[in-house]
A and B are shown apart, each in its own frame.
Chain A
Amino acid sequence: MLNTLWFILIAVLFIGFLFLEGFDYGVGMLLRILTREDHERRAIINTIGPVWDANEVWMITAGGAMFAAFPHVYATLFSGFYLALVLLLGALIVRGLGFEFRSKEENPRWRNAWDWAIFVGSLVPALLWGVALSNLIRGVPVDRDMHYVGTLFDLLNPYALLGGINMVVAFLLHGALFLGMKLEGSLRERACRFAERLWPWTTGLFFLFIVYSYFETDFVQHVGVNPGVIPVLGVLSLLSSGYFIRRRDHGKGFVLVALSVVFITATLFVALYPRLIVSSLNPDWSLTIYNAASSPYTLRVMLIITLILLPIVLLYQGWTYYTFRHRIRADRPEEMVY
């Protein structure tokens, strides 16, 4: 029970991370896709300026909570996916510095370099998280001592790469819809058109991924032929988002894509439960919520602390989105902070 609750909490932290960082990464990539004009790029950065750092903390917290609740998963995952994680960390380093440093100097070469940093720093994590999560459910070579015995190239299989591309495309869509809500004028128009053009690709690739998953993972054996309500909701929210995107109702489109991110991530955890890392060598060597967990005492202490703190975090983080709910206008550079 305690272990299951912690499994759910870890899932919640990952959902929070992929929901918030999702559009955040998307916005970072769109910075170079939508425009070459400096004042428009500034506008794009300023849409997430007040919130990107707090969004990123969701990933840090997911990592920290994993360490506290399932230390073996923390140890196996990050020592096993070593080079991928190093690239991810490098991407996040230049991305964060890009946001903070870019507009503090007028030199166009300086700004262009940091714009690349933000673009690559957003693309690489989106791709790598997609690859990593797909591999978790597909199975990775983990031996009886919970040690990852594969290489980086074992992670770069076609299925996981498709998962990574799916995540990049989904985050681009989500980011474009976020910009649709947050911008005004012609830049907003471009973001909207981008979302419209991208939606069929996102949906198509996602269906390809679903089909591929039936062959590459044990989803059907594990969950059953009837997948339950969560995966269905994930698919339905993605499908219905197309209707609102075409009608230029970006608020609803954004919410529906957000819901699809939430439900699809939840589906991943449903497919994993009660495992956290599936061993491709032997099912008995998988890391589960039992053999990878901390002691009941630690799980209990941390559960109480997390259940007290997380709602407070949600309240004040929600308040910041409310405080900065206004739209950004690219033609008003005097209002730009970053």
Chain B
Amino acid sequence: MDTLALALARWQFAVLTIIHFFFVPLTLGITILLAILETLYVRTQDEVYKDMVKFWGKVFLINFALGVVSGIVQEFQFGMNWSEYSRFMGDIFGAPLAIEALLAFYLESTFIGVWVFGWEKLSPKLHAATMWLIALGSNISALWILIANSFMQEPVGYVIRNGRAEMVDFFALITNPNVWVQFPHVLAAGIATAGFVILGLSAYLLLRGRRDAMVMRSFRVAAVYALLGTLLIVLVGHTQAQHIVAVQPMKMAAAEALQRSENPASFSILTITDEATGRELISLRIPYLLSILAYNRPSGEVKGIQELQAAYEARYGPGNYVPPINVTYWSFRLMVGAGFLMLALAAWAVYLVARERFADSPRLLKGLVWATALPYLASTTGWILTEVGRQPWIVFGLQRVEDAVSPTVSAGEIAFSLIFLLVLYILGMYAGVYLIGKHLRSAVASPQSVGAS
């Protein structure tokens, strides 16, 4: 096997999928919010709501376009670089992908066209309904791709037959316990991302002197939305972490850099591991805290990396079953850190909104402009934790990554496709950021024509 081709295939999947997921959470969250705002407009006839829908709708559309085009690659790259994965898993993995297309992609792509072109053609009620359908389609799409991903984390409802994993229980696939902690987490991340993007851009407009009703109300709504999203993330994230302790203990052990099983288990403040030897170079830990987080009580064993390695060797044969510890560890900490920072900022924003002082707090506003990056950091590190923490498996316990790669695709071909597609993604993102910047600048320049621009 060509190790360079394997390494490049992994990089390609990681890079292209992470970039694709820059656009997904905003779409998930902002479509729901736009649907709510447009419904409020229909019910109250308050033009400010319409201005909000038009203004943020444009930001959404630019983001959505990038999500659509990077999503096309997602649909095909399993076959391109991971043909043996596709053969081994197609019986199970293909089904949710096809359902995602049939149930969600058609819905969102059809009604996005209707929404964009239908302002004059549809009744206001029907037009608002199309945004609900887009929100539904986007979030159903997330559900089905997470059903597919959850099987890779926690295989259910299958048998190994004919040299591959075959589905025997479709119902088990969609009721996979992992789906129902992972999907709410992503949904909440979408809400938080939309909240923080609108907060950040509204804060920019406020700092530039735009204080009309559209911007002020956008800020208020987004502050509440962001707080709701981050609160949900913390609650769901806690439940999800407890689920991971039970079902994917190696991922949690690596995320905590916990070498030996402990009871009660300690939570790491700072641990640096020499991955070659498994020796801890630095370790600062709070006793009891990991057990409390894992089981809601101050005792209970959390398995360590070395015990799990021994158990997996006994079960799966000789080999290294330890994921890259430092990457997993730091991605977990960055994700959680970003999440709590978002919670604090959202709470601060809501507090100042309640006291009607937010527009006069440059500290908050400047902080929020920078905080626009936080949900992106959290989403990216969250996926790195999820996927790197599962290594060396591509499907936990069933297939290793090195057995999944396409045997006929050369390193040169993968390098070419990675660079070619990456260049296009970067050009596309550059153009998208430029257009959003132009949209904001024109709003600063001519406050009256906000919606029309």
Which residues of A are interface residues toward B (Cβ below 8 A)? 49-54, 56-57, 60-61, 63-69, 71-72, 74-80, 82-83, 85-86, 89-90, 92-94, 96-97, 99-101, 104-105, 146-149, 294-295, 297-298, 301-302, 305-306, 309-310, 313, 316-317, 320, 323-324, 337
Query: Do the beta carbons of A67 and B90 come within 8 Å of each other?
Result: yes
Name the residue on A nearest B118 (C-beta): A323
Apart from A64-B94, A80-B408, A146-B87, 16 more pairs, CB < 8 Å? A50-B117, A57-B105, A61-B105, A64-B100, A68-B90, A72-B90, A86-B416, A89-B73, A99-B65, A100-B64, A105-B438, A148-B408, A294-B90, A298-B92, A298-B94, A310-B102
Q: Which of the residues A71, A147, A302 comes within 8 Å of B407, measured between beta carbons?
A: A147
Are A50 and B417 also in contact (CB < 8 A) when A297-B168, A298-B95, A305-B102 are?
no
Query: Do the beta carbons of B94 and A49 come within 8 Å of each other?
Result: no
Identify 5 residue pairs between A and B in the complex whose beta-carbon atoms are under 8 Å apart, listed by A's number. A63-B75, A90-B424, A96-B69, A96-B72, A298-B95
User: What 0/1 pattern do residues 269 to 301 of B give for CB contact below 8 A with A?
Assistant: 000000000000000000000000000000000
Are A320 and B114 also in contact (CB < 8 A) when A65-B101, A147-B407, A148-B408 are?
yes
Tell me, yes or no, whether B93 is within 8 Å of chain A by CB: yes
Within 8 A of A (CB), among B79-103: 79-81, 83-84, 86-87, 89-95, 97-103
Query: Do the beta carbons of B79 and A79 come within 8 Å of each other?
Result: yes
Tell me, yes or no, whether B213 is within 8 Å of chain A by CB: no
State the main secondary structure of chain A at its contact with B.
Answer: helix
Tell me, yes or no, whether B152 is within 8 Å of chain A by CB: no
* Nearest CB of chain A from residue B66's CB, rounded to whole Å: 7
Residues of B within 8 Å of A, CB-based: how many? 72
Residues on B with C-beta less than 8 A from A301 are: 95, 167, 170
Are A298 and B109 also in contact (CB < 8 A) when A68-B94, A71-B87 are?
no
Within 8 A of A (CB), among B243-271: none
Are A295 and B109 also in contact (CB < 8 A) when A71-B87, A93-B69 are?
no
Query: Do the beta carbons of B66 and A97 come within 8 Å of each other?
Result: yes
Tell me, yes or no, whether B116 is within 8 Å of chain A by CB: yes
Name the residue on B nearest A65 (C-beta): B98
A89 to B428, CA, bound (A): 14
Query: Do the beta carbons of A78 and B65 come within 8 Å of each other?
Result: no
Are A54 and B166 also in contact (CB < 8 A) when A60-B105, A64-B101, A68-B94 are?
no
Residues on A with C-beta less than 8 A from B167 are: 294-295, 297-298, 301
Tell me, yes or no, whether B76 is within 8 Å of chain A by CB: yes
A9 to B76, CA, bound (A): 19
Residues on B with C-beta less than 8 A from A298 are: 91-92, 94-95, 166-167
Total CB contacts across the A-B interface at under 8 A: 221
Query: Do the beta carbons of A85 and B424 come within 8 Å of each other?
Result: no
Residues on A with C-beta less than 8 A from B73 are: 89, 93
Name the residue on A nearest B417 (C-beta): A86
Query: Do the beta carbons of A79 and B91 come within 8 Å of each other?
Result: no
Query: Do the beta carbons of A317 and B106 come within 8 Å of each other?
Result: yes
Name the residue on B nearest A308 (C-beta): B102
Name the residue on A nearest B453 (C-beta): A104
Name the residue on B nearest A48 (C-beta): B113
Are A67 and B79 also in contact (CB < 8 A) when A104-B435, A295-B161 are?
yes
Query: Do the beta carbons of B98 and A79 come within 8 Å of each other?
Result: no
Q: Which of the residues A64, A99, A309 comes within 8 Å of B97, measured between beta carbons?
A: A64
User: What 0/1 pattern do residues 397 to 417 of B give for CB contact below 8 A with A?
Assistant: 000000000111100010011
Residues on A with C-beta less than 8 A from B122 are: 323
Query: Do the beta carbons of A71 and B91 come within 8 Å of each other?
Result: yes
Tell me, yes or no, whether B175 is within 8 Å of chain A by CB: no
Most central of B68, B80, B87, B121 by chain A CB within 10 Å = B80
